């Protein structure tokens, strides 16, 4: 009897056939609509089984032009495995319910996509929970928008199939075996496999009913309790472009090496000081607070030299592979470098970020490596409280809900770091080095000032709550003060800071900001909070250009009386305690102009970063470029196309947003438009009106901060009565400003302008601190009427 052929769905003898193609269609408004089509056919013992078809369509609209309405196009897979595109829009019901995002493309070039797959669950290499046909790059399931709570009815989506991008929804199931075939590979079917042997795991749940968020972010998403927790992977908007499809850094499409990161930094990002006429240095510094709260790549703190060395001790040689640590990816320094050649330096140390494979959490050769984040992914002030219970407990005083402080000279200072030599670059034992919820908090004086202000704000809130509710125990006071501080912080982020950088109109249009006095109930259980690699490793690093090399010390009359050279005080926070420097630096943050956000960076961070007394340091922009390659970020050209801009086929095609001068420099450095690093191309784009960024980074940041908001069940505007604020309390929280934080938590700050991120001017004058709106904490008094008659407590609520 002849042996029967094995069934065609047996994976061992099956081969995927993947075809990619572009299809053009005419559309109204902006003319041509282009669709990128990926069709996958499973071929088993001569049988062809249609597996998956994905269509991504977008118009070629640019800002100011009319958008083409989003469309979902009918697509079927024929028996022969070819994709059929009918001429009319698909009117049928979807096989799977679809994720709706109120925006994807700030240019109004809408995307529409839908995946067809078997009805089995799909395992996604990005580590999300299995979903039906999607979720690998950020969405663990597809669900329609949730019903609004009673106070706020969110607008219904105008297009049921408007997607952020097709990769998030469909191609998370695929490996990327090579850059030449970025969307090919084999989907994994079945349940998610168990972690590899040796992978550190932590079990979360069952989740306890609580009105407070956990320290480590667990149980924020009740269905997926581990989402957003520390030591989990970044998400991505586009698949990685590792040169081997697994982990080797990218190379040119020619097969040669990409231009050296230091060389690119020298040529394209020189030092040209141009003060920003509108925004203060606090704008730049608050951005570092946000990025530290959301992201820290495992394997580096970005503050101290690496323990492992990839260069010879004198910096002249890159160590051979048999002598260098396995994670080395040293930055080559040109022979004629304008600074380092004077000191015979040819090698800049660089260690690659830790990945899931390094941690033993994924097989080494099965799928692309993904970098890990060591802090919570939420905007939850983890830099104040820590990202794990042990750190949080060590920072608590254990009485009246307060955080630990040391009192010197009648002023509250953070507690000392447990290991000063590993944390700071102090020059004597008496020099302060602080302990915070984030290990990077001593990195520069202005960052440390903001960390101290947030620490003091927690204790100010806890003290006031204790006087209002003396029957509350330490835990209740701590949790309530923490909840209020996180709400203040989130409000400043979304209502005061982000509008500067990505534009108020963009935020309102795409669901990041609501003009309402009511609750906003936009929580999405199906949106993963994990920070986007593309955002943390490229887009948000653009704002390094706003750093000032000289930090002004400002008196109460807003006159500078001194300055600190930035590179003299990296990881040396003790200068803050000298004299009146705490207030002088705080006033400096609200008075000194930040540098223009542009392609120019101060040499204090491109030549002297972390120099620690040496005549040279490291180059932050070169590190940014190298880090993007380390993480395998797709090219700038890929992201242009993803965000709705035309894909460049020549360097001159970058001319829609990059100057001819910079295009000429790019062409001298790179062999192909497809080689240009994301952090490079995005940093050279001219800005979109009313923002401080170009179109590509704006696209990425809108995506990031939309996800960060809607994936957070505890976001401060929620109307969920079990975890939210009362209407009266929410009204008070919305009074929060960075200026109020400065007034309440400096040593003797007397005056501040209402908008601390904006320079002082006729419409933003200096005012007595009493004139800056403040939260009335009497609305937190338990079992009391919420009137205006609280005479017994008045003295506690004024500075």
Q: Which residues are annotated as a binding site for heme b?
A: 544
Q: How far, in Å, are 224, 372, 373, 601 from residue 299 at the CA level? A: 26, 9, 9, 26
Which residue matches tokens 């008659």?
789
The full length of the chain comes to: 799
> What's the CA gap between 34 and 28, in Å, rounded?
13
Report DSSP state, residue 496: I
Max CA separation in the chain (angstroms): 99
Using an 8 Å Cβ cutoff, are 405 and 414 in contact?
A: yes
474 CB-contact burial (10 Å; exposed 0-12 / middle 13-18 / buried 19+) = middle
Using an 8 Å Cβ cutoff, are 436 and 384 in contact?
A: yes
CA count, 13 A, side-chain hemisphere, 651: 16
β-pair type (767-768, 751-752): antiparallel
Cβ neighbour number for residue 463 with a 10 Å cutoff: 17
> What's the CA gap between 265 and 146, in Å, rounded?
46
For residue 69, give the nearest of 156, 154, 162 by alpha carbon: 162
For residue 447, give the nearest of 604, 324, 286 by alpha carbon: 286
Catalytic pick among 292, 346, 458, 552: 292
Which residues, at least 6 apart from 361, have a Cβ–Cβ distance to it below 8 Å?
195, 196, 199, 200
Pair of tokens at residue 635: 């090219």
Between CA 215 and CA 220, with CA 218 as vertex, the angle to 5 degrees is 100
233 CB-contact burial (10 Å; exposed 0-12 / middle 13-18 / buried 19+) = buried
Binding-site entries: 544
Report DSSP state, residue 144: P
> What's the CA gap between 601 and 293, in Å, rounded?
24
Pair of tokens at residue 282: 């606090």
Per-residue DSSP letters for 23-48?
EEEEETTTEEEEEEEEEEEEEETTEE
> What's the CA gap between 348 and 332, in Å, rounded?
6
CA count, 13 A, side-chain hemisphere, 494: 27
Q: Kindly provide the b/e burial profile for residues 532-555, where b requires at least 16 CB atoms within 10 angstroms of the residue's own CB.
A: bbbbbbbbbbbbbbbbbbebbbbe
For residue 247, give the nearest of 632, 594, 760 by alpha carbon: 632
Using an 8 Å Cβ cutoff, are 372 and 355 in contact?
A: yes
Which residues, at least 6 apart from 623, have a Cβ–Cβ distance to it below 8 Å?
261, 331, 350, 609
Beta bridge partners of 19: 39
Main-chain phi, psi angles of 191, to 5 degrees: -75, 160
Which residues, at least 6 apart from 6, have a Cβ–Cβ distance to it below 8 Å?
13, 44, 45
β-pair type (83-84, 188-189): unpaired
Is the N-terminal amide bond of 206 cis, ω within 30° of 0? Answer: yes
For residue 174, give the nearest of 227, 245, 110, 225 by alpha carbon: 245
Q: In what order do the strands lie in the sheet with 31-44?
A: 14-27, 31-44, 47-59, 115-116
292 has catalytic annotation: yes
> What's the CA gap between 214 and 723, in Å, rounded?
12
Per-residue DSSP letters for 656-702?
GTS-HHHHHHHHHH-SSGGG--HHHHHHTSPPPTTSSS-HHHHHHHH
Q: Which residues are catalytic?
A: 292
């Amino acid at each position: 009897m002849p042996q029967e052929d094995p069934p065609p769905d047996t994976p061992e003898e099956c081969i995927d056939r993947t075809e990619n193609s572009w299809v053009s269609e005419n559309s109204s408004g902006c003319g041509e609509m282009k669709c990128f089509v990926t069709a996958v056919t499973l071929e088993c013992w001569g049988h062809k089984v249609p597996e998956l078809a994905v269509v991504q369509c977008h118009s070629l609209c640019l800002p100011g032009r009319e958008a083409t309405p989003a469309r979902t196009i009918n697509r079927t897979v024929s028996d022969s495995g070819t994709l059929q595109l009918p001429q009319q829009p698909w009117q049928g019901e979807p096989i799977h319910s679809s994720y709706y995002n109120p925006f994807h493309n700030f240019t109004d070039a809408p995307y529409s996509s839908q995946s067809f797959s078997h009805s089995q669950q799909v395992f996604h290499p990005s580590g999300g929970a299995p979903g039906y046909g999607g979720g690998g790059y950020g969405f663990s399931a597809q669900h329609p928008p949730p019903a609004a709570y009673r106070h706020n009815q969110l607008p219904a989506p105008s297009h049921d199939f408007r997607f952020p991008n097709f990769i998030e929804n469909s191609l998370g199931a695929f490996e990327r075996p090579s850059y030449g075939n970025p969307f090919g590979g084999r989907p994994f079917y079945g349940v998610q496999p168990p972690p590899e042997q040796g992978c550190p795991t932590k079990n979360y749940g069952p989740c306890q009913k609580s009105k407070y968020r956990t320290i480590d972010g667990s149980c924020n998403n009740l269905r997926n309790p581990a989402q957003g927790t520390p030591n989990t992977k970044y998400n991505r908007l586009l698949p990685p472009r590792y040169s081997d499809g697994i982990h080797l850094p990218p190379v040119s499409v020619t097969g040669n090496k990409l231009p050296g990161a230091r060389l690119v930094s020298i040529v394209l990002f020189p030092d040209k000081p141009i003060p920003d006429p509108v925004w203060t240095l606090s704008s730049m510094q608050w951005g570092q607070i946000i990025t530290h709260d959301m992201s820290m790549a495992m394997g580096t703190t970005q503050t101290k030299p690496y323990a492992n060395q990839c260069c010879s001790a004198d910096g002249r040689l890159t160590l051979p592979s048999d002598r260098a640590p396995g994670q080395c990816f040293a930055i080559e320094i040109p022979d004629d470098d304008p600074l380092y050649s004077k000191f015979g330096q040819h090698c800049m140390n660089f260690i690659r970020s830790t990945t899931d494979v390094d941690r033993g959490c994924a097989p080494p050769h099965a799928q692309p490596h993904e970098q890990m984040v060591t802090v919570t992914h939420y905007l939850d002030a983890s830099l104040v409280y820590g990202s794990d219970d042990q750190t949080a407990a060590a920072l608590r005083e254990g009485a009246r809900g307060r955080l630990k402080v040391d009192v010197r000279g009648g002023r509250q200072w953070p507690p000392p770091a447990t290991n000063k030599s590993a944390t700071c670059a102090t020059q004597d034992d008496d020099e302060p080095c602080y302990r915070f919820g984030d290990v990077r908090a001593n990195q520069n004086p202005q960052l440390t000032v903001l960390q101290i202000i947030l620490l003091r704000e927690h204790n100010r809130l806890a003290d006031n709550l204790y006087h209002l509710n003396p029957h509350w125990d330490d835990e209740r006071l701590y949790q309530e003060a923490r909840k209020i501080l996180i709400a203040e912080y989130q409000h400043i982020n979304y209502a005061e800071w982000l509008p500067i950088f990505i534009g108020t109109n963009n935020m309102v249009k795409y669901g990041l900001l609501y003009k309402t006095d009511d609750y906003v109930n936009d929580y999405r259980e199906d949106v993963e909070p994990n920070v986007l690699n593309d955002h943390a490793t490229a887009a948000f690093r653009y704002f390094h250009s706003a750093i000032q090399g000289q930090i002004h010390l400002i008196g109460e009359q807003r006159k500078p009386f001194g300055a600190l050279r930035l590179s003299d005080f990296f990881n040396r926070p003790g200068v803050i305690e000298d004299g009146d420097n705490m207030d002088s630096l705080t006033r400096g943050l609200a008075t000194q102009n930040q540098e223009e956000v542009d392609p120019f960076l101060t040499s204090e961070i491109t030549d002297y970063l972390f120099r620690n007394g040496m005549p040279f340091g490291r180059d932050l922009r070169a590190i940014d470029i190298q880090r993007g390659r380390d993480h395998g970020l797709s090219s700038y050209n890929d992201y242009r196309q993803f965000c709705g801009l035309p894909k460049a086929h020549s360097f001159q095609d970058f001319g829609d947003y990059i100057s001819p001068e910079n295009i000429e420099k790019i062409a001298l450095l790179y062999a192909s438009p497809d080689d240009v690093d994301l952090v490079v191309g995005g940093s050279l784009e001219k800005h979109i009106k009313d923002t401080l960024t170009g179109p590509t980074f704006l696209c990425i940041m809108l995506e990031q901060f939309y996800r960060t908001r809607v994936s957070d069940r505890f976001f401060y505007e929620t109307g969920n009565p079990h975890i939210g604020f009362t209407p009266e309390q929410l009204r008070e929280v919305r009074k929060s400003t960075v200026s109020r934080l400065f007034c309440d938590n400096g040593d003797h700050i007397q005056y501040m302008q209402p908008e601390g991120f904006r320079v002082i001017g006729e419409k933003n004058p200096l005012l007595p601190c009493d004139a800056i709106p403040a939260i009335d904490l009497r609305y937190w008094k338990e079992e009391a009427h919420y009137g205006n008659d609280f005479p017994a407590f008045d003295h506690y609520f004024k500075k």
